[in-house]
Amino acid sequence: MSNMFGWIDHIAQFVLSLFPHLHVVNANEQGVKFSRGKNVRHLRPGLHWYWPLLTEEPTNVPVTRQTLSLASIKATTKDGERVAVTVALVFQVSDVIKAAVRTVDLDDALSDIGGSTVLSYLLSNDWSDILQDIAKDRMQESVLRTAADYMADYGITVLEVRCRDAAATYSISLIGDGFLTGAAGSSD
C-alpha cells in the first residue's frame, strides 16, 4: 500500500525544494555552502537561508580548539629498538573553506598526516634520544613544526602535539590481525 502512494512523497519533496530552508550555524562553528556544484561561500555564525533546488545543505565546521588522539604508532627506531608512541594533536580550524573543500574527512586527514609525521620522527632517531626529546618537549616541537606545515594546506592550525605514552615493545605478527604489542620490553 505504501508503494502505491510513494509518488505523493516524491511530489511533496519536490514542492518543498522550491522554497528556501533555514540553516543555523552555531557560535562555535562556521559554515560552508556550495551552490550549483562550484561556488563555495563562507557562512559566519547565525541564521542562513538556502534554496535546496540550487544549493546543497550547508556544512558546519567546528572552529574551536579540538583534540584528536592518534592511534598508537609502532616503529623500529634508527638504533633498531621496537617502540610504540601515542600522541594527541590539539588543533583549530583556521580556514573553513579549505577544511571543507580539500578533504572528505578532516579527522582522517589529521590522523594520516599526524601519524606519518610521528612515524618519520621515530624512524630517524635513536630510542634514547627520543626519550630525552620527549622529556624536554623537543619531539613534540619537531612533530608540531612538520605537521603544522602539512596541515596548513587543509586550513588547520596545529596548536600542540602531546605525547601520551612511549614504550619499547615487542610485536607478534598474526595472519590477518596485524600486530599485538606489549610494553614488556624488546624481544631481542
**pLDDT for residue 93 is more than 90:** yes
- What digits encode the pLDDT tens for the residues 23-59? 999 999 999 998 887 889 999 999 999 888 788 889 9
**CATH-assigned architecture of domain 66-182:** 2-Layer Sandwich (3.30)
DSSP state of 55: B
Q: Strand 59-62 to strand 66-69: parallel, antiparallel, or no bridges (unpaired)?
A: unpaired
d(CA 73, CA 86): 6
Grade residue 183 by pLDDT with cuts at 50, 70 and 90. very low
Q: CA of 70: how far to CAs of 52, 113, 175, in Å?
A: 37, 10, 24
Q: CA-based Rg of the chain, rounded to a whole angstrom?
A: 23
Q: Strand 82-93 to strand 73-76: parallel, antiparallel, or no bridges (unpaired)?
A: antiparallel
The predicted pLDDT at position 53 comes to: 79
Q: Where are the domains of the chain?
A: 6-61, 66-182
- What digits encode the pLDDT tens for the residues 56-91? 889 999 999 999 999 999 999 999 999 999 999 999
Average pLDDT, the chain: 88
Question: Cβ(73)–Cβ(88) under 8 Å?
Answer: no
**pLDDT for residue 4 is more than 90:** no
d(CA 149, CA 156): 9
Location of C-alpha cell 594527541: 88
The predicted pLDDT at position 3 comes to: 67
d(CA 88, CA 72): 10
Of residues 117, 110, 99, the one with CA closest to residue 155: 99
Helix, strand and coil percent figures for the chain, each rounded to 5: 35, 35, 30
Question: Cβ(66)–Cβ(44) under 8 Å?
Answer: no
Location of C-alpha cell 533555514: 22
Question: Cβ(32)–Cβ(93) under 8 Å?
Answer: no
